[in-house]
Amino acid sequence: MGVTLLRANVDDAKELHAMQVETFKELLEKYQDFDTSPANENMDKVEARLKQDFTFYYFICIGEQKVGAIRIIDEKENGKNKRISPIFILPEFQGKGIAQKAIRLCEEIHGDGNWELDTILQEPKNCHLYEKMGYRQTGETKAINDRLTLVFYEKREMDGI
């Protein structure tokens, strides 16, 4: 399965937003994290991110089909981590290794060390994905509500797999 990345621009905001809402709506219902869930963001927020000069949004594609997206925050400053926030794969394409391939492609584009991200502690598949890819928990967590806790990860140059 050939996974490729297609750089998104501000004209893609509506499509990105719709995919993001579709992908995260089940987690929003499960965790009721209305203030932090990507499913609850408005399109203006996605559009504003697309206009940031340090944000790189990519559609994750299989062939011509867009199956998800990933946002990379890369301020291109020495010693400053790059950040994945968010990455999502449409529900019908999850569990096929697509996210792993997309992350690897982003690491090739933006450099393979000094990355950070956060995910839901209560979602073991998410945590497993990042740990399998060489990300390590920082020890920092943030309780969003009584159902959801974010756990923070980083990947340093020497942590690579």
The overall longest dimension of the chain from CA atoms, in Å, is 41
Taking Cα atoms as reference points, which of 107, 50, 119, 49 lies closest to residue 81?
A: 107
Q: pLDDT per residue over 123-140, tens digit each?
A: 999 999 999 999 999 999
pLDDT band at 145 (very low <50, low <70, confident <90, very high): very high
Is pLDDT of 1 > 80?
Answer: no
Distances (CA, A) of 91 to 48, 68, 106, 156: 25, 9, 21, 30
Residue type, 147: R
pLDDT of the residue at 146: 97
Distances (CA, A) of 161 to 18, 104, 113, 132: 34, 11, 11, 8
pLDDT band at 160 (very low <50, low <70, confident <90, very high): very low
pLDDT of the residue at 100: 97
Is pLDDT of 161 > 50?
Answer: no
Phi, psi of 38 (to 5 degrees): -60, -25
Q: pLDDT per residue over 81-111, tens digit each?
A: 999 999 999 999 999 999 999 999 999 999 9
Q: Are 126 and 24 in contact (CB under 8 A)?
A: no
Q: pLDDT per residue over 30-77, tens digit each?
A: 999 999 999 999 999 999 999 999 999 999 999 999 999 999 999 988
